[in-house]
Amino acid sequence: MLKLEARPAASKWWIYGSPVLALAITVLIGVALFALLGKDPLRGLEVFFWEPLKSRYALGELMVKATPLLLIALGLAVCFRSNVWNIGAEGQFVMGAIAAGGVALLADKTTGHWIMVAVLLAGTLGGMAWGALTALLRDKFNANEILVSLMLVYVAILLLSYLVFGPWKDPLGYNFPQTRAFEKVTQIPRLMAGSRMNIGLLIALAGSAVLWLFLFRSRAGFAQQVSGLAPAAARYAGFSSRRALWIALLVSGGSAGLAGALEVAGPIGQLTPYVPAGYGFAAIIVAFVGRLHPVGMVLSAILMSMFYIGGELAQSRLGLPKSLTGVFQGLLLFTLLACDTLIAYRVRWVRPAVSKAGG
């Protein structure tokens, strides 16, 4: 029989091997799922894991999806390493998009290129403000940041709906709930002709490098992590847990808001009710699959964006529901949680004891 046995120390190998095993199990379950749905499993795997990589345009679209996921996950990693559970990055993403869209709508034909910087800065500040609201309620009233940040997601989405259905609605938009298209001067420069991939990717990669330096090469990053892992030790060392709370939520909110700004000033080009794409929730999986490490999160963001594109292709080419994306995301998360058991426990085969009959 199989038995879980506690390890004397956490396995360093399984810390990084667990996500690989979780992905393998997810793929195997996916194969069974395709077969149950009456589809060719090999064709299903091709749609999810090869189609997003097979051409220059496909790679560009992969990076378009990976950019907001990576940016949001970087901010969430600061929160989670600080033991601050920000579950509302989706709301901070939406508020960043709203703030950036408000600035972009001020531009006209005579506006200079400086407006692009203002758009990104407004998005960052919008996300930070939404994160600061959670920090304020946690700091002053000891409110649970999980519930507060999550409920604020719906407030942000309702505010977006009010604006695009109301005061910001395009009067020439045939009654569609959307703003007018932003002026070209506000649009984020693209990296390749014929592709939607833009400088947001470079910003996200630069953010990964900055986060690595902050977490592992700075005293402030060390204090941030100690405040999350051992609050008592942090107080003894003179580190402020209150400061760690504010830094975590401001950084997380700012990165999510910047992702929202890049999204509306890049691929979308206007505000619509469909700005909330679930990136804020998917980035939680990206952060944990990437082990809250900047390099790991780059790889997991690419993987998660493959699920997004694979779900869209499965809908158009295999006739499967687009919700298959969420199924794969959920499978990856749950299998990761299960495989993480191997970090603290080992599986051993134990022979059942054979009792001898007494004479």
Q: What is the CATH number of the domain that holds 109?
A: 1.10.3470
Range of the domain at 266: 40-319
pLDDT digits (tens, 9 = 90+) for 250-288: 999 999 999 999 999 999 999 999 999 999 999 999 999
CB 228 within 8 A of CB 244: yes
Residues 15-30, mean pLDDT to the nearest whole number: 93
β-strands 345-349, 2-6 pairing: antiparallel
Residue 19 domain flag = no
Top-ranked range on mean pLDDT: pick from 47-56, 77-86, 318-327: 77-86
pLDDT band at 323 (very low <50, low <70, confident <90, very high): confident
Q: Return the pLDDT at 160.
A: 98
Residue 339 domain flag = no
Residue 278 domain flag = yes
How many Cβ atoms sit within 10 Å of the Cβ of residue 216?
12
pLDDT digits (tens, 9 = 90+) for 139-195: 999 999 999 999 999 999 999 999 999 999 999 989 999 999 999 999 999 998 888
Residue 17 domain flag = no
Torsions phi, psi for 120 (to 5 deg): -65, -40
The DSSP element (H or E) to which 50 belongs, if any, is none
Residue 285 domain flag = yes
Residue 329 domain flag = no
User: Per the structure, how many domains does the chain have?
Assistant: 1
Q: What is the mean pLDDT of the chain?
A: 92
Instruction: Kindly report which listed range (121-125, 167-171, 223-227) carries the lowest average pLDDT score.
Output: 223-227
Torsion sign over Cα 242, 248, 254, 257: negative
- Residue 217 contacts by C-beta under 8 Å, 6 or more apart in sequence? none
Report the half-sphere exposure of 302 (CA within 13 A, side-chain side). 14
Q: Return the pLDDT at 353.
A: 64
Whether 338 shows a pLDDT value over 90: the answer reads yes
169-195 burial, b at 16+ Cβ within 10 Å, e below that, comes to: bbeeeeeebbbbebbebbbbebeeeeb
Residue 8 domain flag = no
266-278 burial, b at 16+ Cβ within 10 Å, e below that, comes to: bbbbbbbeebbbe
Please choose, from the candidates 3, 248, 279, 277, the residue with its C-alpha nearest in 3D space to the C-alpha of residue 134. 248
Residue 148 domain flag = yes
What are the E-state strand segments in the chain?
Answer: 2-6, 345-349
| Cα(108)–Cα(125) distance, integer angstroms | 23
Q: Return the pLDDT at 356.
A: 58
| Cα(286)–Cα(298) distance, integer angstroms | 9
